[in-house]
Amino acid sequence: MNEMTRPLPAEITAPALEAVALTKRFGAFTALDSVSIKLRPGSVHALLGENGAGKSTLVKCVMGFYRPDDGAVLVNNHEVVIGDPRAAQTHGLGMVYQHFTLVPRMTVLENLVMARASVPAVIDWAAERAALAAFLATMPFRIDIDAPVAALAAGDKQKAEIVKQLYLKARILILDEPTSVLTPDEADETLGLIRAMALAGRLTVLIITHKFREVMAFADDVTVLRRGKLAGTGSVAAHTPDSLARLMIGESAIAAPAARDGAPTNEVRLAVAGLRADDESGMPALRGVDLQVHAREIVGVAGVSGNGQVELVQVLAGQRTATGGSLRVHGELYAADRADIRRHKVHCLPEEPLRNACVPGMSVAENMAFRCFDEAPLARGGWWLDLAAMRRAARDLIARYRVKTTGPEAPIATLSGGNVQRAVLARELSRDVDVLIAANPVFGLDFAAVADIHAQIVEARNRGTAVLLVSEDLDELLELSDRLVVMSRGVIVHETTPAAADLTVIGRCMAGH
Amino acid sequence: MDRIMNALAALLTALVVPGAALLASLALFGAFVALVGVNPLEVYELMYRGAFGSWFSWQNTLTRAAPLILTALCTALPAQLGLVIIGGEGALVLGGLAAAATGVALDGAPVALVMGAMGLAGMAAGAALIGGVGALRHRRGVNETISSLLLTYIAIAVMNHMVEGPLKDPASLNKPSTAPLAEAYQIGPLPGMDVHWGLVLGVLCAVAAWVLMSRTVFGFAARMVGGNPRAARMAGLPVGRLLIVTTALAGAAAGLAGMVEVAAVHGRANAALVAGYGSTGVLVAFLARQNPLAVIPVAILFGGIGASGGLLQRRLGLPDASVLVFQGIIFVVLLASEAMQGRVRLFAPAPILPAAAKEA
């Protein structure tokens, strides 16, 4: 492993990667229609596109998860057949997924060593540990390699995923929205490092992203897909965010952010006092959170992931029991059971909606009925389900919120991420809402969906809803919040307004100083 | 129209894997009997004759199917909440014991009253056992599969203790039993056949279970809990109550099976109650893919397998228990075929895989 610690000799350059006229069909549906993409050696190439544009399909064809129906993949101008992901690894291709792939119960060290293509039958862990530590010393990432992956925060897990590919000697790195769980500083740091490695000729990089800022700042070339077809490609220097946006969305309109309408009222809708709760492993995660949200106000909660935001949202959503403190809505103690939810109209947009707010195997119609299946008109006499009424209600919501699905009967797990979030949004926002808890509501969505969902949240606020918005995206918080608080180590450490916000101070608070 | 076609396609797709598992099991069982020197084709033919070949064998089959439907519900209902309960045998035994004790204690009271009380006692005993499993699971995190299995042994021991001790009929010398039920309190046959009313009870319970799970608010909530407890909590559903009520209902079904066995077949409670209906019911529920309606035909199929055992013994000299070997083979093949579920899609386009891909 010692060769990893030395700078690589200058004569080794990263390979070029080219995909020529790739086509992939699923039944009658053409997910990828004769798309070509060319990655110059040592370049950072951004792949843009809305949800369902074919980005994932393209990458999975290159990585050997799918067999393309037509077209070829070339590494250094030689056609290669990549039948499975291990073949991709032998050709120097490595991929970092949006979803984590490390084994949670194993340590970072164990994960990395076991991921190697050839692992000796007997492993000298002390030597491996030293080698990995030396390797990590050349990286700006600080990861506790002896910690079980399950104990790492999302940001650290993502770093470990990237480090793993570098450790596996990937020369062509494909990153699927690598920064969606990172703080802005971490994102810049990570992308900066990857770009530096590309500039040094050590890596060829393809980044799937939704963030124009990252494309403009870190990519050399850009390719835009739309509905499975190539919409445009070229040098980033020749593009502006506006021109990229136009390529991405084509003719469809972007929902403009709703104008803020009126100031927050003095009525305290949601009052959190001295709230304490433990995390999954029984360690205290919330250590006395005090927070108030007024009617017609969006309070943004900023913080580095793993500082108690997840637990705060879970307690508010009724998914976790508090160990101390109180929750009040409309001045009354709030237990987050069905009666309280209904009486106080508290709704949620949790992160990873398919995991947190949906039953994947149930239909879109059933998932949309979670809030109202036990009341008229969906339930007759309070106990008999009117399935026809459920379908009608779902059709109405599908149309109003433009959910792309084959129909109300389709299992919700068959929808794309953006459409799952739209379906949840339809369920949670189509009714009267007094308090809305939103956690990373646009995580992993394309920017048209982001604008749309942001507009919906602001509209709800304008109607008088008290919104608590927990997000790892500071830009999102600064754009939407009336008031901004920073959470660190389970307490609120700072409060400001977007207008008065000092990014240095916020950054310092997020970092826990 | 599209919905009907889709439902039909889904039904056919759902039938493919269990059907193939059944055929594979038949082939393996054929190999097994060939090893002991019996012609498999002859076995198949006799099994068919013993199970469905005549009106007589049909009646035998249906009589055995009645308790199987009820014990299968004991597994299929909690499965909607994602629980794997295999304690139907224990609930059946306790239900039979409670029903017999009630019937004997109320001797002399009006028939309708005693029958009702026996049914309620059987259901209450089963509900207490399996509901207790649900409560242990919810309050203490005890694995429901293990606890339901172990509680079955306790239930059988309790039954043995009672029929050999406090409830023993002094006249039952060789086979300790409770006192026999008076003739009037026994469940009679359906008009024109030898099959008792328990079959009707079982079918009604299966239909009711299906309606409960697919068409009522309770069932919807239960399926939410089974599909994703986080989403159910977010919707404010009382997860613990749903869990305990559903397991109690499941236990009540198996307890009712015990009452039916006592009141329609044995006329008293004794060790004959431990006839394997509970464990075969688990098999029925799995082969029915936990669908309460599908439980009915599958229970009849297994009733037939059980009914054919006698014929195999008489005609081919195979032990009566050979059919248990067949059942065992089915269970193993079925569990193995679970891995195939979802991979066989004959009537629907291949789905787009979710983005989370496995690193090789």
Between CA A47 and CA A88 the distance in angstroms is 19
Using a pLDDT cut of 90, give the percent of chain B over it.
57
Find chain B residues with C-beta within 8 A of A98's C-beta: 355
pLDDT at A4: 34
Residue B288 lies in a domain: yes
Instruction: Find out whether B127 and B313 touch, Cβ atoms under 8 Å.
Output: no
pLDDT interval class at A470 (50, 70, 90):
very high
Residues contacting residue A298 through CB under 8 Å, at least 6 positions apart: A457, A458, A461, A467, A469, A480, A481, A482, A483
Residue whose C-alpha is closest to residue B89's, from B346, B291, B274, B323: B274
**Cis ω for the linkage preceding A377 (within 30 of 0):** yes
Query: Which of A:24-63 have CB within 8 Å of B?
Result: 26-29, 31, 56-57, 60, 63
The four Cα atoms B23, B28, B33, B36 give a dihedral, to 10 degrees, of: 170
Q: What is the mean pLDDT of chain B?
A: 88
pLDDT interval class at A9 (50, 70, 90):
very low
> Residue A414 carries which DSSP code?
G
Over range A265-294, report the average pLDDT.
Answer: 91
Q: How far is CA B243 from CA A314, B96, B131, B144, in A?
A: 21, 24, 8, 11
pLDDT at A174: 93
Between CA A413 and CA A390 the distance in angstroms is 19
Between CA A440 and CA A291 the distance in angstroms is 18
Strand runs labelled E in A183-267: 204-208, 221-226, 229-235
Specify which residues A235 forms β-bridges with.
A221
End-to-end CA distance of chain A: 37
On the question of pLDDT at A3 being above 50, the answer is no
Phi and psi angles of residue A258, each rounded to the nearest 5 degrees, phi first: -65, 140
CB contact under 8 A, A409 and B6: yes
Over range A422-430, report the average pLDDT.
Answer: 91
Residue A3 has a CB neighbour count (10 Å cut-off) of 9
Give buried/exposed letters for B21-53 (b at 16+ CB in 10 A, else e): bbebbbeebbebbeeeebeeeebeebbeebbbb
Rounded to 5°, the CA angle B118-B124-B126 comes to 105
> Residue B296 carries which DSSP code?
H
pLDDT at B202: 95
> Residue A152 carries which DSSP code?
S
Between CA A42 and CA A27 the distance in angstroms is 37
CB contact under 8 A, A358 and B228: yes
How many residues belong to chain B? 360
Between CA A38 and CA A40 the distance in angstroms is 6
Find chain A residues with C-beta within 8 A of B238's C-beta: 337-338
Q: Nearest Cβ partner of A65 from B3, B350, B357?
A: B357
Residues contacting residue A3 through CB under 8 Å, at least 6 positions apart: none
Between CA A121 and CA A113 the distance in angstroms is 12
Between CA A93 and CA A100 the distance in angstroms is 18
Interface test with B, best of A352, A362, A371, A428 (most B CBs within 10 A): A362
Rounded to 5°, the CA angle B230-B235-B239 comes to 65
Residues contacting residue B9 through CB under 8 Å, at least 6 positions apart: B347, B348
On the question of pLDDT at A98 being above 80, the answer is no
The four Cα atoms A327, A332, A336, A337 give a dihedral, to 10 degrees, of: 150
Residue B91, SS3 per DSSP: helix
User: Hey, what are A402's tokens?
Assistant: 């433009």
On the question of pLDDT at A513 being above 70, the answer is no
The DSSP string of A471-483 is -S-HHHHHHH-SE
| Fold exhibited by the domain A257-345+432-513 | Rossmann fold (3.40.50)
Q: Which structural domain range is residue B184 located in? A: 61-316
Specify which residues A96 forms β-bridges with.
A175
| Fold exhibited by the domain A14-102+152-249 | Rossmann fold (3.40.50)
Say how many domains are in chain B: 1
Lowest mean pLDDT among A175-179, A205-209, A256-260, B89-93: A256-260
pLDDT interval class at A301 (50, 70, 90):
very high
pLDDT at B344: 53
Between CA B4 and CA B244 the distance in angstroms is 35
For A86, which residue in chain B has the nearest alpha carbon?
B360
For B355, which residue in chain A has the nearest alpha carbon?
A56
* Ranges of chain B whose pLDDT falls below 70: 1-3, 340-360
Between CA A155 and CA B331 the distance in angstroms is 45
Tokens 């989370």 found at = B356
Between CA A427 and CA A340 the distance in angstroms is 18
Over range A302-327, report the average pLDDT.
Answer: 88
Instruction: Find out whether A220 and A234 touch, Cβ atoms under 8 Å.
Output: no
Find chain A residues with C-beta within 8 A of B221's C-beta: 373-374
Query: Which of A:155-214 have CB within 8 Å of B?
Result: 176
Helices (H), B216-275: 217-227, 229-234, 239-260
pLDDT at B36: 84
How many residues belong to chain A? 513
pLDDT interval class at A511 (50, 70, 90):
low
User: Hey, what are B227's tokens?
Assistant: 């599909």
Longest dimension (CA), chain B: 72
pTM of the complete model beyond 0.80? no
Instruction: Find out whether A199 and A42 touch, Cβ atoms under 8 Å.
Output: yes
Distance of CA B302 to the CA centre of its chain: 10
Residues contacting residue A95 through CB under 8 Å, at least 6 positions apart: A59, A63, A85, A88, A165, A173, A174, A175, A176
> Residue A513 carries which DSSP code?
-
Can you say whether the dihedral through the CA atoms of A257, A262, A263, A269 is positive or negative? negative
**pLDDT tens digit sequence for B7-31:** 788 778 778 888 888 899 999 999 9
pLDDT interval class at A2 (50, 70, 90):
very low
Q: Nearest Cβ partner of B357 from A27, A60, A362?
A: A60
On the question of pLDDT at A439 being above 80, the answer is yes
Residue B294 lies in a domain: yes
Over range A359-366, report the average pLDDT.
Answer: 93
pLDDT at A88: 87
CB contact under 8 A, B238 and A371: no
pLDDT at A13: 67
Kindly give the pairing relationship between strand A29-39 and strand A17-26: antiparallel
On the question of pLDDT at A280 being above 70, the answer is yes
Specify which residues A297 forms β-bridges with.
A466
Measured between CB atoms, does B350 come within 8 Å of chain A?
yes
User: Hey, what are A324's tokens?
Assistant: 């101390």
End-to-end CA distance of chain B: 43
Measured between CB atoms, does A471 come within 8 Å of chain B?
no
Over range A16-25, report the average pLDDT.
Answer: 91
The DSSP string of A322-348 is -SEEEEEETTEE---SHHHHHHHTEEE
pLDDT interval class at A287 (50, 70, 90):
very high
Distance of CA A217 to the CA centre of its chain: 20
pLDDT at A253: 44
User: Hey, what are B38's tokens?
Assistant: 């019996």
Domain ranges of chain A: 14-102+152-249, 257-345+432-513, 358-430
pLDDT at B351: 40
Residue B234 lies in a domain: yes
Measured between CB atoms, does B271 come within 8 Å of chain A?
no
Between CA B2 and CA B14 the distance in angstroms is 18
Using a pLDDT cut of 70, give the percent of chain A over it.
89
pLDDT at A249: 61
For B218, which residue in chain A has the nearest alpha carbon?
A383
